[in-house]
Structure 1
């Protein structure tokens, strides 16, 4: 499952400072600069605008100086450095095709650069909307904090803007890059002392501030910003809601989360963060330096990247027990996010949070070598819950049994058993990372604000992985609901069954069944099992 913008001074609020139809392309004005974009099929784009100074490695990003001169905004900027991936071979062509065509599951094409913090705006052509300022949808891409970019979502953003016009609810789409992998989420005692943890999340916050300051120059209303993400992008949305004690600083008025919620992350000085800091330091030859962090800052990029790419990715055995991830750093996150949720320390804004039925299957394929009861227990206790005493896990083996008819893909009987333990592991991963955190967040938030939730059971026939993580995004399942939410803070479109608010006493979901129209169901599936996992994570936050 992060972003921001800025509002250029204009004579009257609501009249966009924007001109088009010149021989050089559409124009926007930022400070003293003229920004040149491109106009295509019903949309205008301003791409690759730097929203920060070129970032110093392992240091927080800084807002740019006032823009001057002419700025070419006709193409996407460089990729932020990606973590090298190697997807497991399941022997199932459909899974291979999904991995190869889903942006958050494979390395993006393009040139990588540490100078990558750019932002993009896609808006309706001037003729397609009136002169009033438009609501803004800010997209935070996924990729498990290891990979991802914005150019890969160009079609998605353009199609959403066109659809918003067709529905008579025009809006502006914004996307941005943020630092990933070790470049954005280096951890360890040294990073803590330096005060430079969670840099990827801080990049997102800076982008959101840029939106707040400048989106008016593109015809957007900075008081009507919705932040939207999927997977780690959705987790990021939730963490933007949690940071700063829940004070969103007026940067966004709503959130839309697809397959991501606040996770139970640990302290930046402990666990795998220190382990892999030490690995990078040793592997790059910096461990003998008197200041290992400064040594790694000074390394040639190619040397650092070669070491980072040796570390596990989300397609490694550890799966979503990630090496590079948000952590409690005392600056951006001052507590375990799930504890912050329990304390009500998050932005009081309306939001939507939805999931797919088989969230864990795409990541269960990382552990296909886990085939026996003993191997499953070792996998869970050593990789996922290493800080939980063994007696605390006794119930887990019963709650998540080896009976393949009870695993994920759920309700598929004896089908999809890629190994004797695959469906079991997939059920555990999905409930730990997606279903449990989503339910815990909604249960608490529904007592203070308007929230909605959905469950996607479509794509259940996908071999091996069923209604897999990201299948809702791939099919645009809730696009119309999203557009309506951006405009009216209500995901109901006026068509079909009414989508009720989530209520802690009667937790209703808009469910998209395997076939047929959506219907309303209760969010009570696997209630005992998921509550047990949530309690485990609150007692001993596992680092994801």
Structure 2
């Protein structure tokens, strides 16, 4: 179950906007993005400049303003043919000299479900496909690449700290081509803490997160997480050549990227070493942490595999995986997309997401079990949420008009939960609209009778209160430094409130590069990436570490910040923790 935000459609940004006259694909990409956001204007064009040599070859990059970049550097063999639906394989030979200035190929995307009855999903998918940004993103299976952005003039040996970004997209879509770290890099320079921004392209949808006993049998589960892991290993092997410090890497993600960040903390039982050294020393999770899930061979994910195999024409094959690897790309993508998507009625009850594989140490336990027992990498963390995480995902269930219908809908998410458990959950969520999300908006924004109640449930179970459960364990069991926040920067502004993904618009500098929520959150994050302390660059308020006694929390607003206490909706958190074993998607 988890997360796609609308914001990544617009968060590709640039620090300045070139004209469309020249043929450089990078320039066209930036111009299209600025046109899509209504801010196109003449400006300087990116130029070729920096050159970096690594063991696999020579990489020619670009210069844009005060930022240098290298887009689409291969880190693994193309996952095609016999390597399709298998763990990534390291490059077997050098790639020679490449010009890394274009838009990296995106892994296959699930913009919409192709299944019967998915009219809303198809409509939204068509909208996304027509979006100027989506139109210029090239999609294909040969997509396992890294992108690096750094302050202009950075050279090998500078030992700059590194932010390793993992994009979100509900484990169904997303790519490095949708995020430009220029604003982050520029802001780090302004603060006197120059930092390198690294991204990994990883497989999503069924290409990256198809489950089932067939894949489990050969150890080919959670492929998207394995791609991310290889990207972290690539960073350890190569970031020094770009001027980074492999000992100062912080993993950072939003939404599905935040959930992936947590998963990287628990992979291999919490062992985050590579060649005897830690691959990262800190983690930042924006809108996501633990997601309890049934195992890869449970009937729920197995039904997804069977549906995809049948849609691809492999339903009766003796070796369904071998058949799927022979299917041409286009029909396989249609088959992968034949199950409900995040834009569908199922919403956050996702078909594709990381699931534990008990027979493989790589990701063997459900995330909540690992988190609550301290089987995690012992690194400092920042984890936080937006106040109204669930509103975006409760918009399309307008036929849910009473508690009985809501009970049926919520139960569909959790195959291990019985009617009594679901009834108990609904009992701690008042039916009155004033208690729902967007929070503190009274009886306004009642899109349909159960909208605000469902929005509160989806936001709490997927993001907000599962975060608190994890924080309690991180502080009391794992004994690691933690900081937590809640953002209310769009409070009481619309039926969506401070909705999922809206922080990306500010963090990546898309709308207003000097906006208060964007500047303050980035300053805390850049401080943390540099010094493992969000307060190393002084600003108000000072952000205290989390503890289970006082539960301090940074509260971000549009014009000012303050400290609050992380105790809201505590009866719900208590109920979730008590029944965490059955609240698995």
TM > 0.5: yes
Pairwise CA distance, 1:24? 6.2
CA distance in 2, matches of 1:433, 1:534: 13
Structure 2 contact 156–244 (Cα < 8 Å) conserved = no
Match of 1:64 among 86, 91, 95: 91
Structure 1 contact 108–149 (Cα < 8 Å) conserved = no
Asked if residue 376 in structure 1 is aligned to residue 420 in structure 2, the reply is: no
Structure 1 contact 107–148 (Cα < 8 Å) conserved = no
Pairwise CA distance, 1:266? 1.1
CA distance in 1, matches of 2:494, 2:299: 36
Match of 2:555 among 486, 511, 525: 511
SS in 2 for 1:411: coil
Pairwise CA distance, 1:246? 0.6
Compare 278-287 and 169-178 and name the one that shifted more. Answer: 278-287
Structure 1 contact 84–107 (Cα < 8 Å) conserved = no
Aligned position for 2:33: none
Q: 1:48 to 1:88 in 2, by over 3 A?
A: same
SS in 1 for 2:564: strand
SS in 2 for 1:367: coil
Pairwise CA distance, 1:436? 2.1
CA distance in 2, matches of 1:404, 1:534: 25
Aligned position for 1:520: 563
Q: Structure 2 length normalisation: TM-score?
A: 0.83
Structure 1 contact 108–152 (Cα < 8 Å) conserved = no
SS in 2 for 1:47: strand
After TM superposition, list the pairs within 5 Å mapping 1:468-507 onto structure 2. 468-476=499-507, 477=517, 478-492=521-535, 493-507=537-551
Aligned position for 2:68: 44
Structure 2 contact 466–573 (Cα < 8 Å) conserved = no
Compare 38-47 and 137-146 and name the one that shifted more. Answer: 38-47
CA distance in 2, matches of 1:395, 1:54: 48
After TM superposition, list the pairs within 5 Å mapping 1:280-359 onto structure 2. 280-330=308-358, 331=360, 332-359=362-389
Asked if residue 125 in structure 1 is aligned to residue 168 in structure 2, the reply is: no
Aligned position for 2:232: 208
Match of 1:438 among 456, 467, 470: 467
Aligned position for 1:8: none
CA distance in 2, matches of 1:32, 1:410: 52
SS in 1 for 2:383: strand
Match of 2:165 among 117, 133, 139: 139
- Gaps in structure 2 of 5+ consecutive residues: 4-46, 508-516
CA distance in 2, matches of 1:421, 1:45: 47
Aligned position for 1:53: 77
1:342-378 CA deviation, whole Å, 9 max, x = no partner? 1100010011001011110011113222122221111
Structure 2 contact 485–554 (Cα < 8 Å) conserved = yes
Structure 1 contact 31–66 (Cα < 8 Å) conserved = no
Match of 2:492 among 461, 465, 470: 461
Match of 1:158 among 161, 182, 185: 182
Pairwise CA distance, 1:25? 2.6
CA-atom RMSD, angstroms? 2.2
- Gaps in structure 1 of 5+ consecutive residues: 2-22, 91-95
Match of 1:405 among 388, 412, 434: 434
CA distance in 1, matches of 2:290, 2:574: 15
Pairwise CA distance, 1:89? 7.3
Pairwise CA distance, 1:449? 1.1
Structure 1 contact 88–365 (Cα < 8 Å) conserved = no
SS in 2 for 1:267: coil
Aligned position for 1:449: 480
Structure 2 contact 78–144 (Cα < 8 Å) conserved = yes
SS in 1 for 2:49: coil
Q: 1:525 to 1:100 in 2, by over 3 A?
A: farther
Match of 1:149 among 156, 159, 175: 175
SS in 2 for 1:35: strand
Pairwise CA distance, 1:67? 2.6
CA distance in 2, matches of 1:81, 1:315: 17
Aligned position for 1:188: 212
Match of 1:364 among 394, 399, 418: 394
Q: 1:401 to 1:107 in 2, by over 3 A?
A: farther
Match of 1:237 among 239, 261, 267: 261
Asked if residue 539 in structure 1 is aligned to residue 581 in structure 2, the reply is: yes
Pairwise CA distance, 1:72? 1.7
1:255-301 CA deviation, whole Å, 9 max, x = no partner? 01100101101100014210111111112221121111110111001
SS in 2 for 1:528: helix
Structure 1 contact 355–455 (Cα < 8 Å) conserved = yes
Structure 2 contact 107–201 (Cα < 8 Å) conserved = yes
CA distance in 2, matches of 1:66, 1:288: 38
CA distance in 2, matches of 1:38, 1:183: 31
SS in 1 for 2:147: strand
Pairwise CA distance, 1:470? 1.5
